[in-house]
Amino acid sequence: MKLANFVKATAIAAMASITALASPVVAAGWAPDEPIVLRVGFGAGGETDTMGRVLAATIEKQTGWDVVVENRPGGGGVAMLSGLVSEKPNGLVLGMAVNIPPLMMLNERPDTLPFKIDSFDYIGTIALAETSLISSSKAKFNSVEELVAYAKEKGSASIAWDAPDLKAVMQKVGADEGVKFRMVKAESGAEMIKLLLGGQVDAAFGTGAHLPFVEDGQVKILSSLSDKRLSYAPEIPTLIEAGHNFYIAPYFYVAAPGNLPADAKEALAKAMESAVAHEDVKTVVQNTVRAPANNLGPDGTRKMMHDAFGPIGKLFAK
């Protein structure tokens, strides 16, 4: 079964099992007086949409609230957030996004956006998509440092990428080290693996699709690109440990318009905390981004956004 179909089937199965939950659990004193709308900043069927729908279904069954999912794609979630910021702060409209695209825009073109980091109240996170730099197991290098040395010896090294933040990471490494990598555009994680195993590139990036190839010995991991070591490969050092003081940590998070009433924010945060801890949500997250469910809570999510702003900015510094 293809990964996308497997994830979809897992999500459907999880939603079905959610309906078997016992009586709803009231999250706190506040309760919505009409359906809550969860706007997903990406199209239907993708990773964010899949996790958002299971999260919404779980909150519904655990609280008795109505939660409706709407897809608002555009700009990697930036379009959705641009609309969300102008909604009434009553807890009835939420947004699910990934932190990297808005943080990139806030660094590159802040004057073009109607929001800042603190324009929102943060409800929590559902997952961190751990990202790694990978190569074929046949490659003669085993780390970022050795990849740089290889590129200097050969005059360059080719690296497949499918997202602008990934491209920016290795361009920044190259600039720091005085070597220019040849960046090869791919359309997906699967295509990056194909290019890597076909010998068309020297390195690529992995956010989950690479793990079966690591397990069967075709691919090896060179570095974690997050600020922490990988949960599934704690022996692999981070890019920071290799001497590069920047990172990417793509968190999937839920936000609301700023200035939510305290009781609404507390109730929504407790509802999300309970849902993310549920086994069905954890299973879908694991199968979607190949990482454990991870809720930082309201304060932790705000801190994560602020902490990630600087490192993302360093990737685009002239």
Q: What is the CATH number of domain 3-129+250-315?
A: 3.40.190.150
pLDDT at 168 over 50: yes
Residue range 148-175: average pLDDT? 92
What pLDDT sits at residue 17? Answer: 53
Q: Structural domain boundaries of the chain?
A: 3-129+250-315, 132-224
What are 65-96's pLDDT values in tens digits? 999 999 999 888 999 999 999 999 999 999 99
Are 291 and 285 in contact, with CB atoms under 8 Å apart? yes
Instruction: Name the average pLDDT for the chain.
Output: 90
Residue range 186-207: average pLDDT? 91
What pLDDT sits at residue 75? Answer: 85
Tell me whether the CATH fold assigned to 3-129+250-315 matches the one assigned to 132-224: yes
Are 40 and 11 in contact, with CB atoms under 8 Å apart? no
Residue range 290-317: average pLDDT? 91
Backbone angles phi, psi at 117, to 5 degrees: -60, -45
What are 35-74's pLDDT values in tens digits? 999 999 988 888 899 999 999 999 999 999 999 999 999 8
pLDDT at 274 over 70: yes
- For residue 32, CA distances in Å to 36, 94, 144, 177, 256 come to 7, 12, 50, 54, 14
Provide the percentage of residues in the chain whose pLDDT is more than 70: 91
Q: Residues with Cβ < 8 Å from 241, sequence gap 6 or more?
A: none
Q: What is the CATH number of domain 132-224?
A: 3.40.190.10
Are 225 and 169 in contact, with CB atoms under 8 Å apart? yes
What pLDDT sits at residue 21? Answer: 44
Please choose, from the candidates 88, 113, 89, the residue with its C-alpha nearest in 3D space to the C-alpha of residue 102: 113
For residue 97, list its beta bridge partners.
Answer: 253
Position 183 confidence tier, pLDDT thresholds 50, 70, 90: very high
128 three-class SS: strand
